[in-house]
Structure 1
Amino acid sequence: MTQQLTIGERVAWYRHRRGMSQEVLSGLVGRTADWLGKAENNRIELDRLSVIRALAHALDVSIGDLIGEPTLLEWSADSGRRTVPALREALMDYRQLTPLLRAPADGEPPSLSALRSDVGEVWDAYQGSQYGFATRQLPLILSDALLAVRTYVGEDREEAYALLALTYQGAAMVLGKLGENELAWMAADRGLAAAQQSGNNVITGSLFRSVTHCLLSTGRFETAVQLVSDAAGFLAPGLDEATPAYLSVYGTLFLTGSMAAARAEDRATTQAFLHEAEVTASRLGGDGNHMWTAFGPTNVAIHKVATAGELGDFQVAAELGPQIDTSGLPVERRVRHNLEVARALSAWNRTDDALSVVLDAEQMAPEQVRHHYMSREIVLGWVRGTRGRPTRPVAELAERLRVV
């Protein structure tokens, strides 16, 4: 059901399950029954998360229920045949709940340099949209990182905690991409606890970003905005002597916050957060990828497009988006920008242009395009909105995305 129905059709399905009329549900979200009928029949696209959240709240379901998450992670040579369940088992190991239940450290811990390399490899895979590889590696690295924090002492233990935090953060980011929001929250929560044990404010700031992402994915937009404000206050005292990594974490936090504010339909805060990120990017002096943030002026520009889309300003997004050169950014950022541009172009009935953008994204990162709700919803909307048979490129893309 989650794969073959549009968001509007899922709204209708849950509405019938709740025994609600269109008049009742539309009234709860401040719309007309005619509008809801068109949305449920795919004559209006539900392409703003703020609207989807209102419908989810009225139906007492999650945003993920309406956008069709989670999705199946395909088996591949990179992923093997143990994917999300193996990572779930690692995260839900009860022995991590308290030291009282942990067995003594067994075996030699990895060297910190080896662990650092392994963590970096997973983050590189995430930024390369190689989710199968990352998911396969994470349980193994998590086990090594946990052994390291139980074995090392002093400064080495603090670094081990920093690497453990980044491992949890990597898990949270990958799981979020796959729609496993509850597991992502668990990973981010544990990562933030480990970051605090490291005593490293850059690591702690990085984990604040992941917690914010988790709040975003579950529709808690206002809470995410508040977290960004609070976290920025925590990091602000260190700005006078900030390293490039510190500035990147600080600036990226505001970019994440701008998305939260846009989804909460708070234009003033959206612009304020984007401005703060822009000032920080100027201070950084150019694009970089410190702490795997891909932070810099280009990332600020693509967030201006993304927030415009979230606020319903699709004409702005359609005009600005294609002008941005993202070639210097990691694949994950480039592909996500492509999907934002495609959504805006599709909203303006520029289907051929939008299809070209999605196909370019798929060429770069097939896993990311296959698993992101936005690409699936765009393509499914094209299939359902076409009189007669869809064009061959659209039909073939829909088949590859498993939406038909």
Structure 2
Amino acid sequence: MTENLTIGERVAWYRRRRGLSQEVLAGLVGRTTDWLSKAENNRIELDRLSVITALADALDVSLGDLLAEPTLMEWSSDSGHRTVPALREALMDYRQLTPLLGSRPEGEPPALPELRANVAEVFDAYQGSRYGFATRRLPFLLADASIAARMYSGREREEAHALLALTYQGAAMVLGKVGEMELAWIAADRGLAAAQQSGRSVVTGSLFRSVTHCLLSTGRFPAAVQLVNDAAGVMQEELGDASAQYLSVYGMLFLAGAMAAARAEDRVTTRTFLQEADEAARRLGADANHMWTAFGPTNVAIHRVATAGELGDIQVAIDLGLRIDTHALPVERRVRHSIEVARALSAWNRTDEALAKLLEAERDAPEQVRHHYVSRELVIGWVRGTRGRPSQSVAGLARRLRVV
């Protein structure tokens, strides 16, 4: 499969491979044959993950197959010439999984202050949408954090496990952004195990959120909702006198859950989760970036826009989305919101405004825009929907996103 097919065209390609007629596939997802025909021929945009997931399930393919993920990570001065494969090798290293099978490390373990600084560097790169840089650093950081977790004892061992958990979380976040969903799941699962050995509830809560995101990204929406409910039940025990870090992690867990509920088309749970996050934001009092969450009232508002888009409430997404001031948030949050607003504007045929929003996002974070399936789908749709040649702006963006 190539990156320059629309989602509808991929549906048609896999449907033919499965030997299914349009009538049969449409019936499997509860739609009409006319609807499916229009979707496959790009007369209807497939931009809601709930619908795309249903099609993927009926075709017995992964969600990533229909979204054309992952996309190739470009080499750059940030990434070097060893990108995702090097990180994959680090995650698959059995010596990190089962230390009994590897030789005991010799010499002094990595210094914990240096390890903390390196973890912060990776999270800062993620929030700055510098995925190539983070991907290059993570294999070395995973090795160092694993050694530290094995060699330290007592309270230092707990901190080493906390840093190992956060390193795995950083890997899961970056891998999720570049479409490597299965690897992201492995990293998040390992991170949760390390977090539990750290004895630090705020780190465990942070990894609950990471696993929720992985379930969300692979189309397992009900499982993600259930995890949020279960994790919140555990975290509520310490909520009474919670720190700012704890409130931020708790609130972000519900924002991830709200996205899962919206993609499951569960409006009641979406509203409930957003309300819970809003309460945590009110207790926090202002936007902040504790534990690299970028949590606060603005992030809650951003998720109101995103969930409205997932539920098909496009006018709500536009009206609210254009009013939110995101300038104080990290680049990743600002750009993700811009992509969401661009999608809503495009759905209402406000293409010029949508293009301007996407170009603005690309200026801030070209890697993030290139790797997000919504960006690619929007641009492919604009190119295909133009009579004659597309505008210079659209054509240039299409080339940079490698979709033509």
TM-score normalised by L of structure 2 = 0.99
How far did 1:96 drift? 2.3
User: What is the distance in 1 between the residues matched to 2:67 and 2:20?
Assistant: 20
Residue 235 of structure 1 is matched in structure 2 by: 235
Deviation at 1:152, TM superposition (A): 0.8
Corresponding letter in the other structure for 1:246? Y
Partners of 1:204 and 1:28 lie apart in 2 by 39
The aligned residue for residue 221 of structure 2 is: 221
Contact 1:130 1:367 in 2 (8 A): yes
1:269-318, Cα deviation, whole Å (9 max, x unpaired): 00000000001100000000000000000000000000000001111111
Aligned to 1:89: 89
Alignment of 1:1-400 (within 5 A): 1-400=1-400
* Greater Cα shift, 118-127 or 309-318: 309-318
Query: Deviation of residue 156 (structure 1)?
Result: 0.3
Give unpaired runs (5+ residues) of structure 1: none
Residue identity opposite 1:377 in structure 2? E
Between 384-393 and 135-144, report the one with greater CA deviation. 384-393
The alignment-based identity, stated in percent, is 76
Q: Over the residues paired in the alignment, what is the CA RMSD in angstroms?
A: 0.6
Q: What is the TM-score when the length of structure 1 is the normalising length?
A: 0.99
Cα distance in 1 between the residues matched to 2:387 and 2:24: 31
CA distance in 2, matches of 1:251, 1:282: 10
Task: Give 1:259 deviation, angstroms.
Answer: 0.1
Q: Report deviation, 1:389.
A: 1.2
The C-alpha deviation readout for 1:44-97, integer Å capped at 9, x for no partner, is 000100000010000000110001101111000010000000000000001123
Counterpart contact for 1:2–1:69, Cα < 8 Å: no
Q: Amino acid of the residue matched to residue 358 of structure 2?
A: V
Contact 1:29 1:58 in 2 (8 A): yes
CA distance in 1, matches of 2:371, 2:259: 20
- Distance between the aligned counterparts of 1:392 and 1:13, measured in 2? 30
Unpaired runs of 5+ residues, structure 2, are none
Q: CA deviation at 1:345?
A: 0.1
**Alpha-carbon distance in 2 for matches of 1:315, 1:348:** 8
Q: Which runs of 4+ in 1 moved over 4 A?
A: none
SS of residue paired to 2:31: coil
Amino acid at match of 1:91: L
**Distance (Å, rounded) in 2 between the aligned partners of 1:98 and 1:393:** 52
Give the Cα separation in 2 of the matches to 1:179 and 1:109.
33
Displacement after TM superposition at 1:241 (Å): 1.3
Deviation at 1:382, TM superposition (A): 0.6
* Displacement of 1:170: 0.1
CA shift for structure 1 position 107: 3.1
The one-letter code of the counterpart of 1:21 is S
Q: Does the 8 A contact of 1:228 with 1:254 survive in 2?
A: yes
Equivalent pairs, count: 404
Amino acid at match of 2:318: A
SS at match of 1:240: coil
TM-superposed CA distance for 1:102, in Å, is: 2.2
CA drift at 1:106: 2.5
Matched letter for residue 322 of structure 2: P
Preserved contact between residue 11 and residue 55 of structure 1 (Cα < 8 Å):
yes
